[in-house]
Structure 1
Amino acid sequence: MKRDDAYAIEVDGLGVRFRRNRRGRRSIKSMFASASRRAPKDEFWALRDVSFRVRPGESIGVVGRNGQGKSTLLKLVAGVLLPDEGSVVVRGGVAPLIEITGGFVGDLTVRENVRLTAGLHGMSRAHIAARYDDIIAFAELEDFQDTPYKHLSNGMKVRLAFSVVSQLDEPILLVDEVLAVGDKAFRAKCYARIDELLASGRTLFFVSHSERDLRRFCTRGLYIRDHALVMDAPIDDVVAAYNADNPV
């Protein structure tokens, strides 16, 4: 695939493999097998030979059964994982709503965690200060700013994490099942916030098992089956194909 600067994301021949058993060291035999490109028996391909392109402003829904590589694909686009084969080119920064409460420190207060986490995502001190009140208000944590993070309920933690990441100004938004958590009122706020981001021209890469959410936010779908991309089509067609393969 010839690279083209007109695309926000280009994935070409992508493959990544993992070990099933992380215990102990790899043997000399297994290392020689890996060097000769024959994977040891305890390794498997989470994704292989995946290729697609995403234009700026597109809304892509990623569909597939659990364990097929959807979240792995998002992590590769986010740069959290590196491919073993092929390439991922991302033009522009990403706002990753992946493993959403990761990176927060239990003994630090809400206030301290906002500054730490937003800083880790690349927000400047001035940017954090300007957005701080909005972050706290969206998370509905005005009365808990000096409370240690570990004392928050799970719902509070999710609200805080979503609020921080959704304030990032990056052009590409990566979302992995975040709308499946939280109460009804919070989900409504998340929907409104994502609608706002999409209206501003953001690119959305969205993993979900919710047909309603996929149809609401996405126009195009990628169907991952058996750790490979088997369909790239309008979202309604992709959801229909997934349902045909997985009848209730």
Structure 2
Amino acid sequence: MPAPVIALDNVGIRFRRNRRGRRSFKDLFARRSRRSRPGEFWALRGVSFTVQPGEAIGVVGRNGQGKSTLLKLVTGVVLADEGTVHVAEGVAPLIEITGGFVDDLSVRDNVYLTAGLHGMTRKQIASRFDDIIDFAEIADFLDTPYKHLSSGMKVRIAFAVISRLEEPILLVDEVLAVGDKAFREKCYRRIEELLAGGRTLFIVSHNERDLRRFCSRGLYLDKGSLVLDAPIHDVLAKYNADYGIVPA
């Protein structure tokens, strides 16, 4: 068996609830203690699993159970307070998808800026620029300030850029819930192309059809703990049974 591309071992991450004011250096140092303090809660605790190259993993659970935090750990946006997180390959994050775009820059400049921030060289961006614009279907708005685009158009250009990255791991956090039906299907086909090419997929979604379409395996999170790591149909069955959900 090949080495895993993602490995979490007894991972925990802790946050504070509604703490006003700035934390002192003493507070920051004390945060490394394993013991919880008043006003703190564990968003994740004792989470362990591995992901093999080319797997498609769906993460399920109610809102506020640690799903998005888990993806942010994998991207390195947040760090674990305990345990270890190992990510062996680069990550293309479809998380908070329009983050990093600058309102006053044109669409053209934002494509170069955002792709560059994700590690693409100017030459690489130029070679994929037409594909990005064609996919997003916004060729008539290249010199329009980004702030004048509709929310749907912003999602189109963001997905088009991120999905053209060559990173082996694709992280998706509910982004497919937005946009018109035709464009969502276009995104679905693009993800299927990436999976067929050997990419690894890690997706958070409340849409069972999406999860069953893309994923063979699921992780069920509840109250920050990993309840079940199993084939996706078993994970969805347990999740639905626990909360009396009738599948659509």
TM over 0.5: yes
Q: Residue in 1 aligned with 2:80?
A: 83
Q: Residue in 2 aligned with 1:37?
A: 34
Q: Residue in 1 aligned with 2:90?
A: 93
Structure 1 CA distance for aligned equivalents of residues 25 and 139 of structure 2: 56
1:70-219 to 2 correspondence within 5 Å?
70-219=67-216
Cα separation, partners in 2 of 1:244 and 1:28, compared to 1, 3 Å:
same
Q: How many residue pairs were aligned?
A: 245
Cα separation, partners in 2 of 1:37 and 1:140, compared to 1, 3 Å:
same
Give yes or no for contact 1:33–1:40 (8 Å, CA) kept in 2.
Answer: no
TM-fit CA distance, 1:5 = 6.5
Secondary structure of 2:22 counterpart = coil
More divergent stretch after superposition (142-151 vs 14-23)? 14-23
TM-fit CA distance, 1:39 = 2.4
Cα separation, partners in 2 of 1:115 and 1:35, compared to 1, 3 Å:
closer
Supply the AA of the counterpart residue of 2:137: E
Matched, 1:226 2:213: no
TM-fit CA distance, 1:98 = 0.3
Cα separation, partners in 2 of 1:175 and 1:36, compared to 1, 3 Å:
closer
Gaps of 5+ in 1: none
TM-score, structure 2 normalization: 0.95
Tell me the alpha carbon deviations over residues 55-83 of structure 1, each in whole angstroms, 9 at most, x when there is no partner. 00000000000000000000100111111
Supply the AA of the counterpart residue of 2:115: A
Give yes or no for contact 2:220–2:228 (8 Å, CA) kept in 1.
Answer: yes
TM-fit CA distance, 1:38 = 2.7
TM-score, structure 1 normalization: 0.95
Q: Residue in 2 aligned with 1:15?
A: 12
Give yes or no for contact 2:2–2:52 (8 Å, CA) kept in 1.
Answer: no
Tell me the alpha carbon deviations over residues 114-133 of structure 1, each in whole angstroms, 9 at most, x when there is no partner. 00000000011110000001
Residue in structure 2 matching 1:244, options 219, 223, 241: 241
Cα separation, partners in 2 of 1:27 and 1:246, compared to 1, 3 Å:
same
Matched, 1:67 2:64: yes
Secondary structure of 2:38 counterpart = coil
For the aligned residues, what is the CA RMSD? 1.6
Give yes or no for contact 1:136–1:160 (8 Å, CA) kept in 2.
Answer: yes
Structure 2 CA distance for aligned equivalents of residues 26 and 44 of structure 1: 16
Structure 1 CA distance for aligned equivalents of residues 24 and 55 of structure 2: 45
Gaps of 5+ in 2: none
